[in-house]
Chains A and B, each alone.
Chain A
Amino acid sequence: GENVEQHPSTLSVQEGDSAVIKCTYSDSASNYFPWYKQELGKRPQLIIDIRSNVGEKKDQRIAVTLNKTAKHFSLHITETQPEDSAVYFCAASISTGTASKLTFGTGTRLQVTL
């Protein structure tokens, strides 16, 4: 089955700096890669996703890049703010158009310091 590795496990950045979280996946058939943000005591929330026919996607301060050849994808957060502090999970799946089983990475705890 699919295996997703995520690095780093913890990341501390100063407010205003950029943060990058990286994930690799094992199944070359995977074609859908969502990123979730989970604040303390809350549910995971989908913040951005990318499909395998796209190399990069941006939404304001967050962006995701995908390298299908190398089987890795990354989350980039620019101009970090204290409210970006949370645990971020990457995931991979073979999507047939509606949804499919997600395999999650182990999470990255991001701390944005003042």
Chain B
Amino acid sequence: NAGVTQTPKFRILKIGQSMTLQCTQDMNHNYMYWYRQDPGMGLKLIYYSVGAGITDKGEVPNGYNVSRSTTEDFPLRLELAAPSQTSVYFCASSYTFGSGTRLTVV
């Protein structure tokens, strides 16, 4: 039982590049979330999903997209990366967080 697995752990992107942050859970939870946490700050909700095929925007969705084709997977897509997207990204399944992805956009 791995819980919530995020990959990659670290990534450096150039401005304008795209990438997908992966998140997988093996707890059979319906609810999954993506948060970003800027240095020394709190958690801001980007997108969430209440089940396979259902997603909704959080408070900071601009520049991101998500999909939820299965209960287990909830990838976050960054299109046209910008320096403002430099942050640590946490995926959560129900109330359990993954270990995070530290993203730097240069």
Instruction: Mark A residues whose CB is within 8 Å of B.
Output: 34, 36, 42-46, 49, 89, 98-102, 104-107
The closest CB in chain A to the CB of B4 belongs to A43
Q: Known contacts A98-B29, A99-B30: does B100 contact A43 (CB below 8 Å)?
A: yes
Instruction: Flag whether B74 is at the interface (Cβ < 8 A).
Output: no
- Give chain B residues whose Cβ lies under 8 Å from the Cβ of A45: 97
B94 at the interface (CB under 8 A from A): yes
User: Inside 8 A of A98's CB, which chain B residues have their CB?
Assistant: 29-31, 94
Write out the residue numbers on chain A whose beta carbons fall within 8 Å of the beta carbon of B48: 101
> Interface SS of chain B: helix, strand, loop or mixed?
loop
Would you give the 0/1 interface string for B20-62, flagging 1 where the beta carbon is closer than 8 Å to chain A? 0000000001110100000001110100100000000010000
Chain B residues within an 8 Å CB radius of A100: 31
B60 to chain A, nearest CB (A): 13
Asked if residues A101 and B33 are in contact (CB atoms below 8 Å), the reply is: yes
Complex Cα–Cα for A42 and B90 (A): 10
Q: B77-100 toward A: CB 8 Å interface, digit per residue (1/0)?
A: 000000000000010001111111
Chain A positions within 8 Å of B96 at CB level: 46
Q: Which residue on A lies nearest to B44, using beta carbons? A: A104
Find out whether the CB atom of A89 lies under 8 angstroms from the CB atom of B43.
Answer: yes
Which residues of chain A are within 8 angstroms of B43 by Cβ–Cβ distance?
Answer: 44, 89, 104
Cα distance A43–B33 in the bound complex, in angstroms: 14
Alpha-carbon separation in the docked complex, A92 to B100 (Å): 22
Q: Complex formed: what's the CA distance from A74 to B95 in Å?
A: 19
Q: Which of A43, A101, A107 contacts B42 (CB 8 A)?
A: A107
In the complex, 17 of the A-B residue pairs with CB atoms within 8 angstroms, ordered by the A residue number, are A36-B97, A42-B99, A43-B99, A44-B43, A44-B90, A46-B95, A89-B42, A98-B30, A98-B94, A99-B94, A99-B95, A101-B31, A101-B45, A101-B48, A101-B58, A106-B42, A107-B42
Whether B45 and A43, one on each chain, are in contact in the complex, defined by CB atoms closer than 8 angstroms, is no
